[in-house]
Amino acid sequence: MTNQELFAFLEAGYSRYNCPGFIASDPISVPHRFTLKQDIEIAGFLAATISWGNRKSIVANAMKLTDLMGKSPYEFLLNAKTGDFRPFLQFVHRTFNGEDCLFFVTSLRNLYRRYECMELLFSSVNQQGTAHAIGNFRDAFLSTAHLKRSEKHISNPAGGSAAKRINMFLRWMVRTDNMGVDFGLWNTIDPANLICPLDLHSGNVARKLGLLKRKVNDWKAAEELTANLRKFDPRDPVKYDFALFGLGVSEKF
């Protein structure tokens, strides 16, 4: 496949899946239930955090998790008393258990008491790169008391993780177009600086298309993939995540 053919192929995949019909069956449907910026951030971050495994289960469990916070997750976190957090101890999604869940909502509460929005915690993306920004966010998030086991649910690029779920969350928050899938809430971060979410499915598709040579799905592989995608759209490379995901999951490419 020539570069021109590959470009047309990626653009077609992007157009096919970046549409309102994509939302309902995807974890991004969870933050789409809200309109307030902070509510969207919280619902999006929690939905992205548990985004591994069966997609129907992910969406259902993310809905349950946000339902525990009522109509406004942001207001809940700001006003909740200690006893209000007890129901979260019963939440389970695969290896993300009640103790993890309690830590996550408690940490989010602490962060929102210090920062107006989560966007501020990723402010170093443009100047120092996405890996640095994720590291800063991770340090701030883990400043709340927690069990060691919970740290595995916050990816660490410095340790080599591809950080698929956080990169997906950043895509949701940052990139924007006229299709209404991604939110484009964070206008201080340039979408050109984002890193493409990389997992088993998108990695397999990328290798078949010649976009990725590295054999392991780690942070270096995510950077390599993104660098190659920038050749086709330097201003918005992660838009092709739609194509890679769709080809890998929906079409078994």
pLDDT tens for the chain, residues 1 to 253: 899 999 999 999 999 999 999 999 999 999 999 999 999 999 999 999 999 999 999 999 999 999 999 999 999 999 999 899 999 999 999 999 999 999 999 999 999 999 999 999 999 999 999 999 999 999 999 999 999 999 999 999 999 999 999 999 999 999 999 999 999 999 999 999 999 999 999 999 999 999 999 999 999 999 999 999 999 999 999 999 999 988 877 656 6
Provide the pLDDT for residue 251: 56
Determine the pLDDT at residue 247.
85
Which pair of structure tokens corresponds to residue 237?
């490379």
Rounded to two decimals, the pTM is 0.96
- Domain edges within the chain: 3-250
**Angle, vertex CA 117, rays to CA 86 and CA 55, nearest 5:** 60
pLDDT given at position 197: 97
Please report, for residues 77, 115, 150, the alpha-carbon distance to residue 86 in angstroms, rounded to integers and kept in the order given. Answer: 13, 24, 17
pLDDT at 252: 60
Cβ neighbours of residue 50 closer than 8 Å, sequence gap 6 or more? 58, 61, 62, 65, 93, 94, 96
At 154, list the tokens.
């916050």
Contacts of 240 (CB under 8 A, 6+ apart): 10, 13, 14, 196, 229, 232, 233
CA proximity to 78, closest of 105, 98, 100: 105
